[in-house]
């Protein structure tokens, strides 16, 4: 209720009191008028009070609710008592005191007492001390009342029972008021105290009124009206007000007696003393202590007092003992949990040292003793810094201090006395618990794993992941740099022929050589296989080219491995970044394209990426896609170029040369699409088609003319070659001796054992095998001894130098010599002029070239045969016409 409303309530209350008091004068009321005024007020007042209390009860909860119901019942009893008196008055019925109304009034006091107690009760556990206190104070107040009234009681005009009843009235109400006061002062219920204070005031007013009523009764001077009447009225008005103040406030949580304000606890303890004091004070004040009129009554009260005080003391002792038992029980539980904790701490694999805020050891487990080593005398109370003097000012100890001051746990790894420790330190307000464990093994393993995750195990260089990371970083920084991609030439061949250990050794050596070129900001990584990459930070085109040249040189320096001298080389692709690139993958792709272009233009080259290369790459991809369907679509055809026997000038064979009539691009040269077909593996099925077609067409030629078919290395590794050849022969019915396979040296280079075996099998079928493009490959002469070829075809690059170039002459002559020595026929390729023709005629067995005939479609083969067929010399000029 707001202060304003309270003020209005107070004003209404005062004006009502004044009006009530002054009404007889102001309204000129006579005796009857006063009687009716009292009648109205005596009925209306308590009725209003009862109703207000019911509402207050409905707004309350718990024991408050019960308290207000008690007050409501008390007020109703008041209405009943007054009603009876009014009935007696109206009917002029004469009743002796005490009568039925007195019973109602006394009962009313009992209900009020109950209400007071309920209001102040500490719920959940109604303290027994509280009950004793109520009883004690009630007894004391009654005794005091006895002393205060003892003079009047002694001179009572009434018989002893009515006298007793007259005394009990005020005594009872004073007790109720005293109980209320105790509830208010010692057991207050939070914010509702104002309303309750009004109620206590109401009870006090009732007590005072009854006191004066009792006095008048005892003296026989009582009459209606007067101050007594006013006090009764005020009392009921105060009850109404108090009830209105009762708000719907949820009962506050029960207050633990032990937690009450000290002042209230002291007040509670003082209750028995105050009770005795009140008795003695009132007794001595009125001089009643000597009198013996009501010895029996006071003696019985004193007996109750004594018993209750004793019980109270007993209860206190009992509570204390219980408390002590509880403490002991919890102490035992604590000891048990401590023991349990210790056993846990001892059984953990961690070491533990607990220190207090002054870094003195409070606890340590046996693991800690072991970890600390023999020299450290770990002991309770010892200073951590004296135990570990080298640790006083280290990063680790600083972290401990940090943990202590911030109260946040810290974790770290520390290398101490040859051991790696993992440390977790947990602070508490009292100190620090330091857990640590030996992680040397894990740490080494982890470091190794981290190393492995970033390095290539064979060469020890950084791996692809590191390279990509660095690339991304540089792009993010907008740095200028060059990506130099290095592919070791002939590595696969060497690895296949000389075995993996040699291959590994070569890669390792190459890695070391590349590392030797590193500057501080560079990175060299192995991407896998025989591919390395070098990132040169800050490098421009000139610098990158210079580096590439150096790498090429380094790669081409012969290696000495297992007593053998092995010479490799490197193809190099370079991509430059000037800081404007945003896509690291694109830079890498560009370097890859440049590398591809370098390889395609012959090994051992270094090329810097150009946009045109990317276009070439795209073109190749498009061609590859078209090539996949070319066979099904019948886009292939064979052209035939004659090989002429230089002794007879007759056609001895035709070489089948593949032609691709692309639906939109027209004729695509074999130099362009054959490498793509090889790369993609399509060459296997295309080669089979060539074999079958060539064999079938050769069946229509004169039986002394052979057909030569080019076989790519890739067809050997497919494992199907022998079967395909056998099938082609069978299907066409061609005699095996008329089929010649042209292979290059790479067939012997790669996977040489298996390929050699295949070659022998093919030869066993009765085929001829020619070594094509002789002189262009790698370490040529060695291969001639490995396999008995039926023919060596000297590459046209040597023939084109004839007859002017002495070097070409020397080479061609030596090959002719070799052929004679090994019993192999020698064919000159690419004969374009008469001079060449005449020159080769002196030593070679066979010639092929535009001078004799360009490759012709199948249908023209007969014409070519006819031209060359008859006379040896006449054929040549005709052939030139034909081209
Ligand atoms: P190759 O085996 O050395 O074939 C001879 C090539 O030399 C043919 O080129 C032919 O047209 C060309 N040629 C002949 N006489 C002369 C001449 O006097 N001067 C010049 N400059 N060139 C001459 P082509 O037909 O373009 O074939 C190129 C290469 O494609 C062949 O070289 C061969 O390696 C490959 N090839 C062609 N057809 C097939 C095939 O069916 N299978 C496989 N695997 N490779 C084939
Ligand atoms: Ca050939
Ligand atoms: Ca050739």
Q: Which ligand is nearest to the CA of 688?
A: 1
Whole-number Å distance, alpha carbon 850 to ligand 3 midpoint, is: 13
Q: pTM for the full model?
A: 0.48
Measure the CA–CA gap between 22 and 363, rounded to whole angstroms.
Answer: 85
Query: Is the pLDDT score of 692 beyond 80?
Result: yes
User: Measuring CA to CA, how many Å separate 443 from each of 415, 437, 446?
Assistant: 11, 12, 5
| pLDDT the model gives residue 576 | 94
Q: Which ligand is nearest to the CA of 708?
A: 2
The residue whose CA has the least distance to atom 30 of ligand 1 is 670
E strand or H helix that includes residue 437: strand 431-438
Locate the ligand 1 atom nearest the alpha carbon of residue 851 and give its number.
18
Quick check: 843 and 816 in contact, CB under 8 A? yes
The residue whose CA has the least distance to atom 43 of ligand 1 is 710
Measure the CA–CA gap between 41 and 19, rounded to whole angstroms.
Answer: 12
Query: Is the pLDDT score of 777 beyond 90?
Result: no
Locate the ligand 1 atom nearest the alpha carbon of residue 683 and give its number.
44
Q: For the chain, count helices (H), then strands (E).
A: 32, 22
Measure the CA–CA gap between 312 and 129, rounded to whole angstroms.
Answer: 6
Mean pLDDT of 796-819: 90
| pLDDT the model gives residue 751 | 64
Which of 622, 576, 571 minimizes the C-alpha distance to 600? 571
State the DSSP string of 194-221.
HHHHHHHHHHHHHHHHHHHHHHHHHHT-
Query: Which 8-state DSSP code applies to residue 251?
Result: P
The residue whose CA has the least distance to atom 20 of ligand 1 is 830
Q: Which ligand is nearest to the CA of 799?
A: 1
Query: Dihedral through CA 133, CA 138, CA 144, CA 146, nearest 10?
Result: -150
Measure the CA–CA gap between 559 and 881, rounded to whole angstroms.
Answer: 54
Which of 839, 846, 848 minimizes the C-alpha distance to 647? 846
Q: Which ligand is nearest to the CA of 795?
A: 3
Query: 19 pLDDT band (50/70/90 cuts)?
Result: confident
Whole-number Å distance, alpha carbon 793 to ligand 2 midpoint, is: 8
| pLDDT the model gives residue 807 | 87
Strand partners, 668: 660
Among the residue ranges 193-207, 628-642, 785-799, the one predicted with the least confidence is: 193-207
Measure the CA–CA gap between 125 and 257, rounded to whole angstroms.
Answer: 9
User: Measuring CA to CA, how many Å separate 63 from each of 124, 202, 380?
Assistant: 10, 20, 56
Whole-number Å distance, alpha carbon 649 to ligand 3 midpoint, is: 20
Number of other CB atoms surrounding residue 755 within 10 Å: 21
With tokens 């470091």, the residue in question is 447
Pocket test for ligand 1, best of 654, 656, 657, 711 (most atoms within 8 A of CB): 657
Pocket test for ligand 1, best of 635, 642, 670 (most atoms within 8 A of CB): 670
Quick check: 206 and 113 in contact, CB under 8 A? no
With tokens 């109270």, the residue in question is 312
The two beta strands, 651-662 and 636-645, are antiparallel
Question: How confident is the model over 823-847, as pLDDT tens digits?
Answer: 999 999 999 999 999 999 999 999 9
| pLDDT the model gives residue 685 | 94
- 559: alpha, beta or left, given left = phi > 0 and alpha = psi -120 to 50? beta
Whole-number Å distance, alpha carbon 863 to ligand 1 midpoint, is: 21
Q: Give the pocket of ligand 1 (CB within 6 Å).
A: 641, 656-658, 669-671, 674, 687, 690, 710-712, 742, 772-773, 796, 830-832, 848-850, 855
* First and final C-alpha spacing in the chain: 125
Token couple for 856: 């012709």
Measure the CA–CA gap between 239 and 646, rounded to whole angstroms.
Answer: 146
| pLDDT the model gives residue 779 | 46
Query: Is the pLDDT score of 325 beyond 70?
Result: yes
Planar angle of CA 756, 757, 761, nearest 5 degrees: 115
Measure the CA–CA gap between 137 and 846, rounded to whole angstroms.
Answer: 145
Whole-number Å distance, alpha carbon 657 to ligand 1 midpoint, is: 6
Which of 656, 742, 642 minimizes the C-alpha distance to 692? 656
| pLDDT the model gives residue 876 | 44
Quick check: 511 and 555 in contact, CB under 8 A? no
Query: Is the pLDDT score of 365 beyond 90?
Result: no
Query: Is the pLDDT score of 742 beyond 50?
Result: yes
Whole-number Å distance, alpha carbon 507 to ligand 3 midpoint, is: 33
Highest mean pLDDT among 56-60, 180-184, 353-357: 353-357
State the DSSP string of 670-733.
HHHHHHHHHHHTTHHHHHHHHHHHHHHHHTTS-TT-EEEEE--HHHHHTS-HHHHHHHHHHHHT
Quick check: 112 and 203 in contact, CB under 8 A? yes
Q: Could you tell me what percent of the chain has a pLDDT over 90?
A: 36
Query: 367 pLDDT band (50/70/90 cuts)?
Result: confident
Whole-number Å distance, alpha carbon 733 to ligand 2 midpoint, is: 23
Query: 392 pLDDT band (50/70/90 cuts)?
Result: confident
Mean pLDDT of 620-639: 93
Quick check: 701 and 692 in contact, CB under 8 A? no
User: Measuring CA to CA, how many Å separate 45 from each of 16, 38, 225, 233, 464?
Assistant: 12, 10, 15, 7, 100
Measure the CA–CA gap between 637 and 656, rounded to whole angstroms.
Answer: 10
The residue whose CA has the least distance to atom 46 of ligand 1 is 710
| pLDDT the model gives residue 735 | 95
Strand partners, 854: none
Higher pLDDT, 353 or 255: 353
Quick check: 17 and 229 in contact, CB under 8 A? no
Q: Could you tell me what percent of the chain has a pLDDT over 70?
A: 90
Whole-number CA gyration radius for the chain: 62
Whole-number Å distance, alpha carbon 189 to ligand 3 midpoint, is: 115
Higher pLDDT, 31 or 866: 866
Q: Which ligand is nearest to the CA of 774?
A: 3
Q: Is 176 exposed, middle or buried (0-12, 13-18, 19+ CB in 10 A)?
A: buried
Residues 6 or more apart in contact with residue 642 via CB below 8 angstroms: 651, 653, 654, 655, 848, 852, 853, 864, 865, 868
Measure the CA–CA gap between 263 and 716, rounded to whole angstroms.
Answer: 108
Query: 372 pLDDT band (50/70/90 cuts)?
Result: confident
Measure the CA–CA gap between 518 and 535, rounded to whole angstroms.
Answer: 9
| pLDDT the model gives residue 875 | 39
Locate the ligand 1 atom nearest the alpha carbon of residue 709 and give its number.
41
With tokens 């007996």, the residue in question is 303
Query: Is the pLDDT score of 872 beyond 50?
Result: no
The residue whose CA has the least distance to atom 3 of ligand 1 is 773
Query: Is the pLDDT score of 670 beyond 80?
Result: yes
Burial 841-874 (b: 16+ CB within 10 A, else e): bebbbbbbbbbbbbbbebebbeebbebbeeeeee
Pocket test for ligand 1, best of 643, 655, 674, 795 (most atoms within 8 A of CB): 674
Query: 124 pLDDT band (50/70/90 cuts)?
Result: very low
């Amino acid at each position: 209720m707001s202060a304003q409303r309270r003020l209005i309530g107070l004003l209404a209350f005062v004006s009502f009191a004044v009006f009530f008091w002054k009404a007889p004068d102001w309204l000129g009321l006579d005796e009857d008028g006063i009687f009716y005024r009292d009648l109205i007020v005596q009925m209306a007042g308590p009725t209003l009070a009862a109703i207000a209390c019911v509402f207050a009860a409905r707004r309350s909860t718990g024991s408050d609710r019960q308290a207000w119901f008690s007050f409501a019942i008390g007020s109703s009893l008041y209405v009943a008592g007054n009603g009876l008196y009014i009935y007696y008055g109206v009917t002029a019925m004469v009743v002796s005191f005490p009568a039925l109304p007195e019973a109602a009034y006394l009962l009313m006091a009992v209900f009020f007492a109950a209400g007071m107690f309920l209001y102040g009760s500490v719920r959940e556990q109604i303290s027994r001390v509280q009950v004793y206190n109520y009883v004690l104070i009630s007894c004391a107040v009654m005794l005091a009342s006895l002393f205060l009234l003892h003079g009047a009681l002694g001179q009572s005009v009434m018989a002893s029972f009515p006298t007793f009843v007259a005394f009990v009235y005020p005594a009872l109400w004073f007790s109720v008021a005293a109980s209320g006061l105790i509830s208010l002062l010692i057991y207050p219920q939070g914010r509702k105290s104002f309303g309750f204070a009004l109620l206590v005031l109401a009870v006090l007013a009732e007590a005072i009124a009854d006191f004066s009523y009792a006095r008048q009764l005892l003296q026989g001077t009582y009459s209606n009206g007067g101050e007594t009447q006013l006090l009764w009225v005020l009392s009921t008005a105060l009850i109404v007000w108090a009830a209105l103040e009762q708000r719907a406030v949820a009962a506050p949580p029960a207050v633990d007696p032990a937690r009450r304000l000290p002042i209230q606890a002291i007040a509670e303890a003082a209750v028995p003393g105050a009770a005795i004091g009140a008795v003695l004070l009132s007794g001595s004040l009125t001089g009643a202590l000597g009198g013996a009129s009501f010895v029996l009554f006071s003696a019985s009260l004193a007996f109750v007092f004594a018993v209750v005080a004793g019980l109270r003391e007993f209860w206190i002792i009992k509570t204390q003992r219980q408390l002590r038992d509880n403490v002991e029980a919890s102490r035992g539980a604590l000891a048990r949990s401590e023991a349990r904790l210790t056993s846990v701490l001892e059984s953990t694999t961690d070491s533990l040292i607990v220190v207090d805020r002054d870094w003195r050891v409070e606890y340590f487990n046996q693991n800690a003793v072991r970890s600390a080593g023999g020299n450290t005398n770990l002991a309770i109370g010892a200073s951590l810094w004296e135990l570990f003097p080298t640790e006083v000012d280290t990063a680790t100890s600083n972290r401990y201090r940090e943990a202590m001051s911030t109260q946040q746990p810290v974790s770290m790894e520390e290398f101490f006395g040859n051991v790696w420790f993992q440390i977790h330190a947990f602070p508490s307000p009292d100190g620090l618990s330091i857990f640590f464990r030996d992680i040397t093994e894990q740490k080494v393993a982890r470091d190794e794993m981290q190393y492995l995750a970033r390095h290539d195990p064979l060469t020890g260089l950084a791996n692809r992941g590191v390279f990509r990371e660095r690339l991304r970083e540089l792009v993010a920084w907008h740095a200028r740099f060059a990506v130099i991609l290095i592919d070791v030439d002939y590595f696969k061949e060497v690895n296949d022929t000389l075995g993996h250990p040699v291959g590994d050794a070569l890669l390792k050596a190459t890695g070391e050589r590349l590392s030797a070129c590193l500057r501080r900001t560079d990175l060299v990584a192995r991407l896998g296989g025989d591919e390395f990459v070098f990132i040169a930070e800050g490098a421009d085109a000139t610098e990158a080219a210079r580096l590439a040249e150096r790498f090429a040189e380094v790669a081409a320096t012969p290696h000495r491995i297992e007593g053998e001298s092995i010479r490799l080389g490197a193809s190099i692709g370079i991509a430059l970044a000037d800081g404007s690139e945003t896509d690291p993958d694109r830079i890498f792709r560009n370097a890859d394209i440049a590398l591809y272009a370098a390889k395609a233009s012959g090994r051992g080259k270094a090329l810097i990426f150009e946009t045109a290369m990317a276009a070439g790459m795209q073109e190749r991809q498009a061609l590859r896609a078209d090539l996949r369907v070319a066979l099904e679509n019948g886009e292939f055809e064979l052209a035939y170029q004659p090989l002429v026997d230089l002794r007879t000038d007759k056609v001895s064979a035709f070489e089948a040369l593949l032609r691709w009539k692309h639906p939109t691009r027209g004729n695509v040269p074999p130099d362009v699409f054959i490498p793509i077909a090889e790369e993609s593996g399509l060459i296997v099925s295309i080669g089979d088609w060539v074999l079958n077609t060539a064999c079938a067409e050769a069946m229509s030629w004169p039986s002394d003319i052979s057909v030569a078919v080019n076989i790519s290395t890739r067809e050997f590794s497919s494992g199907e070659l022998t079967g395909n050849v056998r099938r082609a022969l069978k299907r066409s019915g061609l005699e095996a001796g008329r089929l010649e396979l042209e292979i290059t040296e790479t067939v012997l280079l790669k996977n040489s054992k298996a390929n050699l075996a295949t070659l022998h099998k093919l030869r066993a079928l009765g085929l001829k095998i020619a070594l094509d493009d002789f002189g262009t490959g790698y370490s040529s002469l060695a291969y001639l001894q490995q396999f008995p070829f039926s023919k060596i075809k000297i590459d046209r690059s040597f023939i084109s130098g004839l007859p002017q170039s002495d070097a070409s002459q020397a080479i061609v002559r030596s090959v002719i010599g070799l052929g004679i020595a090994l019993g192999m026929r020698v064919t000159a390729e690419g004969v374009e002029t008469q001079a060449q023709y005449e020159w080769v005629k002196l030593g070679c067995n066979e010639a092929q070239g535009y001078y004799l005939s360009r490759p012709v479609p199948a249908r023209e083969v007969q014409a070519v045969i006819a031209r060359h067929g008859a006379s040896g010399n006449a054929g040549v000029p005709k052939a030139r016409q034909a081209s």
